[in-house]
């Protein structure tokens, strides 16, 4: 992990560049696979599962027997932890329900919005090198609170054709309707187009690697909504000399161990503190089971020493991190100036891993600077709003001149007539 001291602003874009592959080739590969799935359905999916996940599958859907066996094999301690996390996530997301009032915009004109659930949603839970059962909670709980009618889940199996029991237990507890043993591009294609075994959905949500992200973006061009282009995980830490370098190093490594294409950034004003963190990173890295993965991720990561807090704020908002931890004496003041971030963790005792598991906020967040324009997954991700308006006779009479003038000047005569005919009818009554 490199230490960069007082880089010029002209260098910032290059310094905070994410470790991405060539998108031109990436999208071509992904599109070819999606086209194949669209044409050949289950047969293509099984072939890609063998190719990418090294597993020969007879059936793609998880059976009732598999679900029951998974529930029996969950250790009590893990079971309790999952249920505690579930309770907090439910509490936070239930509080996001909004009652929308009816508004009289003018005399006789009343407008309102109705919140309706997205009927069919597909949830993607990555597998790869770690079983992310917490992501099941983060996606399925708000989907259920929103009252989505059909919730399906895709997640890659291991080489034996099995899904981690904690994933299946979390899916059962959150009342996921159907679970399929499919990962990667093929999972996104299956949910987007539908096959003999897998139902088509209206929206796909969930994180994944660059191939999953590209697949989501491509299917979104053909009428399937997605939550966001969530790719490899990333974290930024802002810290001063009041922070504990042990904590900061652990926070940086908590994202580095996600995958080799993850990224960790530390911003500080103190060169002394930067060196303390670098030393602590080296020590903690040696004890990690996922040491090799974290080491490779740290090659994409940096400690940046800046000259003042204003530079820290500017660079943070330019980077737009997925996760942002502020470990400074004035963390509340700095937090008020943050406008681009997925989720923010404040103070010396708020690790990002708390947000991953137990605080109740959602950990499915925008990466790769998409926090400049996207929110993380929340209750609204599973709903849509329909507008309504009702106009009385008096209301249409009062508003007719405005509508007629605007329609006439846009050269839309039928628009004008729709109002004029009503007004004339009212006048003749």
Catalytically annotated residues: 322-323
Rounded distance, CA 422 to CA 428, Å? 10
Distances (CA, A) of 145 to 118, 169, 170, 213, 375: 12, 18, 15, 26, 18
Length of the chain measured in residues: 429
User: Do the beta carbons of residue 42 and residue 60 sit within 8 Å?
Assistant: yes
Complete DSSP assignment for 141-198: HHHHHTT-SEEEEEE---TTS---HHHHHHHHHTT-SEEEE--HHHHHHHHHH--SSS
Query: Does the annotation list 66 as a binding residue?
Result: no
Query: Does the annotation list 164 as a binding residue?
Result: no
Query: Does the annotation list 186 as a binding residue?
Result: yes
User: Do the beta carbons of residue 311 and residue 337 sit within 8 Å?
Assistant: no
> What's the sign of the alpha-carbon dihedral 76, 79, 83, 84?
positive
Q: What's the 3-state SS for 246-298?
A: HHHHHHHHHHHCCCCCCEEEEEECCHHHHHHHHHHHHHHHCCCCCHHHHHHHH
Query: Does the annotation list 348 as a binding residue?
Result: no
Range list of H helices, 95-152:
133-145
Rounded distance, CA 365 to CA 356, Å? 11
- Tell me which residue of 55, 95, 68 sits closest to 171, measured CA to CA: 68
Place of tokens 């508004």: 103
Query: Using alpha carbons only, what angle is made at residue 322 by residues 368 and 316, rounded to the nearest 5 degrees?
Result: 85
Range list of H helices, 16-63:
23-40, 42-52
Query: Does the annotation list 284 as a binding residue?
Result: no
Query: Does the annotation list 54 as a binding residue?
Result: no
Rounded distance, CA 427 to CA 429, Å? 6
In 3-state terms, what secondary structure has residue 122?
strand
Query: Does the annotation list 202 as a binding residue?
Result: no
Place of tokens 């926070």: 251
Query: Does the annotation list 329 as a binding residue?
Result: no
Instruction: Give the gyration radius of the chain's Cα atoms.
Output: 25
Query: Does the annotation list 258 as a binding residue?
Result: yes
Rounded distance, CA 323 to CA 144, Å? 25
- Tell me which residue of 23, 34, 19 sits closest to 215, measured CA to CA: 34
Rounded distance, CA 334 to CA 3, Å? 23
Residue numbers belonging to the annotated binding site for Zn(2+): 255, 258, 356, 415
Residue numbers belonging to the annotated binding site for NAD(+): 124, 186, 209
Residue numbers belonging to the annotated binding site: 124, 186, 209, 233, 255, 258, 323, 356, 410, 415
Residue numbers belonging to the annotated binding site for substrate: 233, 255, 258, 323, 356, 410, 415
């Amino acid at each position: 992990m490199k230490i960069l001291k007082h880089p010029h602003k002209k260098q910032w874009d290059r310094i905070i560049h994410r470790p991405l592959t060539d998108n031109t080739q990436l999208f071509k590969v992904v599109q070819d696979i999606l086209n194949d799935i669209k044409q050949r359905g289950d047969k293509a999916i099984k072939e890609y599962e063998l190719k990418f996940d090294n597993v020969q599958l007879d059936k793609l859907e998880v059976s009732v027997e598999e679900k029951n066996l998974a529930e029996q094999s969950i250790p009590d301690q893990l079971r309790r932890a999952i249920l505690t996390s579930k309770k907090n996530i439910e509490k936070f997301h239930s509080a996001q329900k909004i009652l929308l009032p009816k508004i009289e915009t003018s005399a006789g004109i009343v407008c309102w919005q109705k919140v309706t659930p997205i009927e069919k949603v597909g949830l993607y839970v990555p597998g790869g090198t770690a079983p992310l059962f917490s992501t099941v909670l983060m996606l399925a709980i708000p989907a259920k609170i929103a009252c989505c009618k059909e919730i399906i889940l895709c997640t890659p199996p291991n080489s034996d054709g099995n899904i981690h029991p904690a994933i299946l237990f979390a899916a059962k507890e959150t009342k996921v309707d159907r679970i399929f043993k499919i990962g990667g591009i093929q999972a996104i294609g299956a949910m987007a187009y539908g096959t003999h075994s897998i139902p088509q959905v209206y929206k796909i949500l969930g994180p994944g690697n660059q191939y999953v992200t590209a697949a989501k973006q491509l299917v979104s061009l053909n009428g399937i909504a997605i939550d966001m282009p969530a790719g490899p995980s990333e974290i930024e830490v802002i810290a001063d000399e009041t922070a504990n370098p042990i904590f900061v190093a652990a926070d940086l490594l908590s994202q580095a161990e996600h995958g080799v294409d993850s990224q960790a950034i530390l911003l500080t004003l103190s060169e002394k503190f930067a060196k303390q963190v670098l030393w602590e990173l080296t020590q903690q890295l040696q004890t990690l089971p996922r040491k090799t993965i974290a080491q490779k991720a740290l090659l994409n990561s940096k400690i940046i020493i800046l000259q003042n807090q204003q530079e820290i704020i500017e660079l943070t908002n330019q980077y737009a991190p997925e996760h942002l931890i502020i470990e400074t004496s004035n963390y509340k003041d700095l937090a008020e100036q943050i406008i681009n971030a997925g989720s923010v963790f404040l103070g010396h005792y708020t690790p990002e891993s708390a947000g991953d598991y137990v605080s109740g906020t959602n950990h499915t967040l925008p990466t790769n600077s998409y926090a400049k324009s996207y929110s993380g997954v929340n209750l609204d991700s599973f709903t849509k709003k329909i507008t309504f308006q009702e106009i009385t006779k008096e209301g249409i009479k009062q508003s007719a001149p405005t509508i007629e003038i605007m329609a006439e000047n846009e050269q839309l005569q039928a628009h004008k007539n729709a109002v004029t005919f009503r007004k004339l009818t009212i006048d003749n009554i």
